[in-house]
Amino acid sequence: MIYGMHHVAICTKDIDRLMAFYRDQFGMKVVFQRETFGEPNPDSDAIFGLKGASYRMAMLKSTNMHIEMFQFATPPGKEGDPNRPVADAGITHTCFTVTDIESEYRRLAAAGMRFHCEPRVRPGFGKATYGRDPDGNVIELIELEPGCPFAV
């Protein structure tokens, strides 16, 4: 039985920078780290669908979600597009619920986060905006209004 979602995963070229961003700006805690350099691991290769994978990984936790991060040494991955349009196929964003979206928007913008726009009212559910982490991955901030049909 599937009973919930546990985490999303992000591959990065600089895991230290990305961990610091989510830890310092979103209050996430690093709860696990692992490095597999020089350790053949057929189980990881099978799960990833790769051969000879070596990587650093970390699991970060917030109150109700986790983000897993990978930095692969082998095989070398391609650079991501820091301006990848959200209309492209694939996972488009990670969403964080907030209680004061205008305050969080100002705080994160002052810390260097690029936003697509200022928070906008979304009739029927609240206010939202999209911004990007240091790798260009899209993060949504959402402040849900009372009675929203998908409030947590």
pLDDT at residue 40 above 90?
no
Predicted confidence (pLDDT) per residue in 116-129, tens digit: 999 999 888 899 99
Tell whether omega for the bond before 75 is within 30 degrees of 0, i.e. cis. yes
Whole-angstrom Cα distance, residue 109 to residue 101?
12
Per DSSP, the three-state class of 25 is helix
> In the CATH scheme, what architecture does the domain 94-144 have?
Roll (3.10)
> What is the value of pTM for the model shown?
0.87
Answer yes or no: are the C-beta atoms of 131 and 141 closer than 8 Å.
Answer: yes
Q: Which two tokens stand for residue 6?
A: 């546990």
Domain edges within the chain = 7-74, 94-144
Check if CATH label 3.40.50.261 holds for domain 7-74: no
